[in-house]
Amino acid sequence: MCGICGMVGFANQDLLKKMCRIMSHRGPDDEGYFIDKNIGLGIRRLSIIDLETGHQPIHNEDETIWVVFNGEIYNFQELRESLKKKGHQFYTKTDTEVIIHLYEEKGEDCVNYLNGMFAFAIWDKKDEKLFLARDRLGIKPLYYTVVDGSLLFASEIKALLECNKVEKEVDLIGMHHFLTFLYVPAPFSMFKGIKKLPPAHTMSYKNGKVGVQNFEPLQYWDLGFSKAKIKREEYYSERILELLREAVKIRLVSDVPLGIFLSGGIDSSSIVGLMSQISNCSVKTFSIGYEEKFASYNELKYSRLVAKHFGTEHHEFIVKPDAVELLPEIIQHFDEPFADSSAIPTYLVSQMAKKHITVALSGIGGDEAFGGYPRYIGLQVARYYEKLPLFVRKNILLKIAEQFPESTASINIMGRFKRFARGGILPADKRYLSWISFFNTDFYNKLFTDKLKKELSMSDPFQIHREFLNQKKTAEFLNRVFYLDVKTYLADDLLAMGDRMSMANSLELRIPFCDHKLLEFSASIPYSTKIEGFRLKYLLKRAVSQLLPKEIITKRKQGFMIPLGSWLQTELKDLTLDLLSKRSVKKRNYFNWECVQWMLREHYEGRQNFADQIWALMTLEIWHRIYIDNNPIQK
């Protein structure tokens, strides 16, 4: 795993070194550079495979093609043998060198032959072209910006900001998206002029022109939803287990120690079980828990059960409210405000794991692939709920729901019902978007200052999500939702969080459930088969029923959360009131102080659980102080 960066249109060795060294956490083992005329490539390397000779950048036989690469190619051995038969000569044993020779054979189409997680840059000296690519799911990040006709790219925004020509100017449209979903979706970022290369996209720079392929429907990969003949459940469950086993197996290739983040849920537990069957060594497992008073958030009971069942070398860490002191550091690893509070336990489990291993597997992606979120059940229920007269849904049931106080427990039943009832008066598309968003237009009308409303008058934070939801019109609605979640929440929240928090600790994270072959098969399964009635992950549970203890198969969905709502009311109250003080809010001139004050009062008095919304405003303020005010906050 690595951090890559570079420039084309000019070459500045000092800048390239600064860009690399600010990402040293992504690659503490080695650094390398290639500079030639108006091109510069740089890399910081975390050594995983071929520790001795894997120095990058790597070149072809006559040094006319160079590459810097971040990620892992799981089928590189097969590709290597095929390329050797065609006469290509290798001077390393790395997966990186395979990309070079595959590019020589297939050109930009090389991405279609790669199975793995990757972001890479190829400099083709003969063609004077820079070629960038990002993996199918967006597991590995890649940012870029164009300054004075020159292109700069990097694994992290902070590297681009090392160039004094890149201005630190807030992209208000990016901020609008962040507030709505708690993350900034591709291609936006929080900085004007800096963009994310979307998953499954490539970009080329030639003759001073940038050409981004696949911003139109043409992509080098996409999920398809075929209307194939429905097969027996036994076929689906057996094939799921077969593909998951292979996905785990190919991710165990490493020249350094590896383990797994174990939450006690079915996804990570399934991977532990398969690792135990495949590996000759005892599996190392790492889990996060909470104090006894936050028992509703604690899954240690289940992670211990799995660890004991498979005889793993098990490690645990108890998260306490003082962990929030890490927040400025966490935001500095994202370079953007990021309000999924799961980033804190993800950082801490990565920190714990790094003391023992260099590569960790994770269960990220199982919920999207096999229907694990309670909101998917909500979609099933809504089909019956919408048969009630609109008057009853809007003027009776919704008004009744709004009267009840909410809980800060991990299962906020009344909060969920309120969200369901609010969406229950909308058409199906808008209903789902309302369930996955945290602020809506009515809320913004109260929250935003007149100045911000004017600046965002043409902004639609739902546009990207709506377009993805409508791209697969012929698919079942639940499969359209699956597609949307894979393209947005999975890529720009979960995978981004996994990458930044693991890389912050120089730890490589591998994601078996994001194997594209497994996801493609999942897309071929009717959603009514994945979720039977109101039983989430029905098919996956059937697939691993003989692998896992019964208690893991039957346990309810928990979620990798922190007791944020309670912490904001108690231990974190002073921090909250400082970050969202009247002075701070007025200084930004984004939000109406009266509305912010009302949100805080509602949350503190237990009428509404505004934990996520308050957290979003807090992270935005910290990000502003660090990146815009240039005033780094100490722990």
Catalytic residue list: 2
Instruction: Tell me phi and psi for residue 344, to 5 degrees.
Output: -65, -55
Q: What's the Cα-to-Cα distance from 251 to each of 23, 76, 547, 618, rounded to whole Å?
A: 24, 12, 19, 37
3-class DSSP string for 99-112: HHHHHHHHHHHHHH
The three-state secondary structure class of 371 is coil
Q: How far apart are CA 233 and CA 53, in angstroms?
A: 47
Q: Which residues on adjacent β-strands are paired with residue 122? A: 67, 131
Quick check: 567 and 402 in contact, CB under 8 A? no
Q: Note the Cα 499 to chain centre separation in Å.
A: 7
Instruction: Tell me phi and psi for residue 392, to 5 degrees.
Output: -65, -45
Residues 6+ apart with CB under 8 A from 365: 137, 267, 490, 494, 495, 511, 512, 513, 514, 519
* In the block, residue with structure tokens 């231990």: 571
Q: Note the Cα 327 to chain centre separation in Å.
A: 18
The span from the first CA to the last CA of the chain, in angstroms, equals 28
The three-state secondary structure class of 418 is helix
Helix ranges (DSSP H) in 143-232: 157-160, 172-181
Q: How far apart are CA 185 and CA 172, in angstroms?
A: 13
Of 462, 403, 457, residue with least CA distance to 431: 462
Of 3, 1, 439, 390, residue with least CA distance to 182: 439
Of 245, 358, 350, 262, residue with least CA distance to 312: 262
